[in-house]
Amino acid sequence: MRIYWFIIFNVFVAVALSGQNTQGISSADFYEKYALLVDDTSVVIIDGRTLQMYSTGHLKNAVCIDADDDNLETLLRENVSRADTVVVYCTTNRRTTQIVQCLESFYKGDIIFIKDGIRGWKTHELPCIVADSINKPIEGRKGPVSPEFKNR
């Protein structure tokens, strides 16, 4: 019986000392409180959508890692190995949940996920980077992607 409690205690201490903190936040709150993180080199921002969806508008410095990729864990490990904080978003929340669950299995830093995703980001007309007609990013464009871009 003592060994049982000893194991439980050690597991509890290991989890408590791991330092991992997962926090969900709205896009508006993220922009208000953590906007400077997008330029912080110790932060990795992960857009969990497809490359096609990513090209319609994404956060500055975001890395596109499709949550449905068969090599998700490998891609995440390669991209977050030196990060202190990881920020995750997708369109709404399905892909974000997949990525956060995968990260929680190995990553020990802080995880922030944007609960309302890029859809909430665009609804609040927060700055996005959108590819132009020759696929170069345009910084500072706000709000939803224009209809003429969507049809290209």
Please tell me which residue, 151 or 29, carries the higher pLDDT value. Answer: 29
Q: How confident is the model at residue 130 (pLDDT cuts 50, 70, 90)?
A: confident
Residue 30 domain-assigned? yes
Cα–Cα distances in angstroms (integers) from residue 68 to residues 23, 72, 74, 96, in the given order: 22, 7, 13, 11
The β-bridge partners of 129 are 58
Q: What is the pLDDT at residue 120?
A: 95
Residue 75 has pLDDT above 50, yes or no: yes
Residue 106 sits in a domain of what CATH number?
3.40.250.10
* 12 inside domain: no
125 within some domain: yes
Residue 11 in this model has a pLDDT that exceeds 70: no
pLDDT mean over 10-33 = 73
Q: Is the pLDDT assigned to residue 125 strictly greater than 70?
A: yes
Is residue 14, in this structure, part of any structural domain at all?
no
Read off the pLDDT of residues 57-67 as tens digits, 9 standing for 90 and up: 999 999 999 99
Our count of domains for the chain comes to: 1
Q: How confident is the model at residue 3 (pLDDT cuts 50, 70, 90)?
A: low
Confirm whether 1 is domain-assigned.
no
Q: Give a yes or no: residue 40 inside a domain.
A: yes
Domain that holds residue 66: 20-150
Enter the pTM of the model: 0.74
Is the pLDDT at 135 greater than 90, yes or no?
no
- The verdict on residue 15 lying in a domain is no
> Is 65 a member of any domain?
yes
pLDDT the model gives residue 20: 79
